[in-house]
């Protein structure tokens, strides 16, 4: 498992995400909802498993970015027990 990168914010395809501030999960690609449910994983890369899924539009907070810089560790605002890694381009500020 890779160690998180020490950052305060990072850029996704939607804009700037700041750690600790609410953002929402966005499953829309090219104007179409392609991911109505978004999986959160137990680690950012490699042999991993799904720990929970959240719907498109769910509000989460990110607290870390993977060492490779492609995945963020997030937790649901409504259900903090649902927490894991997701590709950063699912995060919309």
HEC string for the chain: CCCCECCCEEEECCEEEECCCEEEECCEECCEECCCEEEEECCCCCCCCEEEEEECCCEEEEEEECCCCCEEEEEECCCCCCEEEEEHHHEEC
CATH number for the domain spanning 36: value is 2.30.30.40
Output the average pLDDT for the chain.
93
Q: What is the pLDDT of residues 58-74, one digit of tens each?
A: 999 999 999 999 999 99
Domain membership of residue 1 (yes or no) is: no
Number of domains observed in the structure of the chain:
1
In a domain, 64, yes or no: yes
Domain span holding position 79 = 9-92
Q: What is the pTM of this model?
A: 0.88
Q: What's CA 75's distance to the chain center, in Å? A: 8
4, part of any domain: no
């Amino acid at each position: 498992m890779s160690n998180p990168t020490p950052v305060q914010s990072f850029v996704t395809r939607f804009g700037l995400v700041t750690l600790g501030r609410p953002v929402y999960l966005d499953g829309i690609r090219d104007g179409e909802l392609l991911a109505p449910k978004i999986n959160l994983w137990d680690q950012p890369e490699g042999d991993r498993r799904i720990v929970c899924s959240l719907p498109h539009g769910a509000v989460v907070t990110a607290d870390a970015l993977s060492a490779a810089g492609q995945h963020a560790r997030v937790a649901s605002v409504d259900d903090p027990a649902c927490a894991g890694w997701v590709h950063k381009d699912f995060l919309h500020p």
